[in-house]
Amino acid sequence: MRTLLKIELERAFRGIGIKIALLIGLLISIANLVLEVYPKTENPLRVFVADAQMLPYNVFNSWIGGRINFEYSLFIFIIPILVVIPYGATYFSDMKSGVIKNYYTRIEKKKYLIAKSIAVFLSAGVVTVVPLIVNLAITSAMLPSIIPQPTGEFSIRANAIWSSIFYTYPYIYIMLYMLVIFLLSGCIACVTLSLSLFANNKFVAMLFPFLLCNVIRILSSYSYYYVINGLGWTRIFDMTQMGVNFFPSILIDIILFASIGIFLFWWKGGRDDAL
């Protein structure tokens, strides 16, 4: 199992897919640094009024995850597509090319499916989190890390998830939120694996997570119940929490995507005959 996992991870992390996905994410991240962060570094006190309840421009209201703007909205919007680029469609390719037969004649089917899921999950998490980490690291070297105060400058409100952590240890809040993004991205990418069992076209399998995310986003927006209303991925991935996020919504999304992407794949993939 360990050797198989190593092979799958090497295929995932050394492939062209992850390079393309990271490049797209990093381009957005760097565009944000150039357009939003860099102009603020020249004078963080440019719009600061001493008597008003304001802070200088700082990391937490300037980095890509600190303020909703075009770059962050674009990044969030393309996440369901971005996460499948590195390794999402390889199960489909392995089946079509016949590579899967080489695996199945040598190792247990279940082990292959688990190793494949782990590789897809991890590669997806990495392509979403790395651009954010790069942006945060560069911003923190250019703007001060002043601890946020609840005086109206930040969109995180009392009802928002982990608001108490944000106003006390903002870096821990960011790390926790990145963990949520990592987990959810991984689960979304795994949906492609399940679809590979049903689809007869690689791109159908790759685009299905984006379609599914959109269906959930649109349908949930009609609900008046706050947990259901907050299921849309554009809302959950937004760590500025312009629309307040709730833990049950995040949990439901993770369980939903994991059920479709991971458990269905293991169950159906294990039963299907590939040889």
Partner 1 sequence: MMHYKKKIFVIIISVVLFVAWLIGFSDVNNRFPQVKCEEYHLDEWVDYSNRYWGYDDLQLSPVKITIYSAKDFKSEYPEEGEEYKDKSYKIVVMKVKIKNNSPQEISVGKVFSFFTAGAEPIGWHNQGQIIDSKNSNILLTGEQEDVELYVVLSESMVSSRNYDRFLKNKIFLSVKSYPLRQILVFDEIDVK
Binding site for partner 1 (CB under 8 A): 44, 48-56, 58, 137-138, 140-147, 149-152, 154, 156-160, 163-168
Distance in Å, CB of 138 to partner 1, minimum: 8
Q: How far apart are CA 232 and CA 219, in angstroms?
A: 9
Distance in Å, CB of 45 to partner 1, minimum: 8
Distance in Å, CB of 257 to partner 1, minimum: 26
Taking the least distance from each CB to partner 1, the nearer of 139 and 196 is: 139
Taking the least distance from each CB to partner 1, the nearer of 112 and 173 is: 173
Taking the least distance from each CB to partner 1, the nearer of 19 and 268 is: 19
| Contact present, 84 and 127 (Cβ < 8 Å) | no
Taking the least distance from each CB to partner 1, the nearer of 36 and 94 is: 36
Pull the structure tokens for residue 139.
């911003």
| Contact present, 260 and 191 (Cβ < 8 Å) | yes
Distance in Å, CB of 182 to partner 1, minimum: 22
Pull the structure tokens for residue 210.
């984006």
DSSP letters, 49-97, are -TTSS---S-HHHHSTTTS--HHHHHHHHHHHHHTTTTTTTHHHHHHHH
Distance in Å, CB of 73 to partner 1, minimum: 22
Q: How far apart are CA 60 and CA 146, in angstroms?
A: 8
Taking the least distance from each CB to partner 1, the nearer of 89 and 161 is: 161
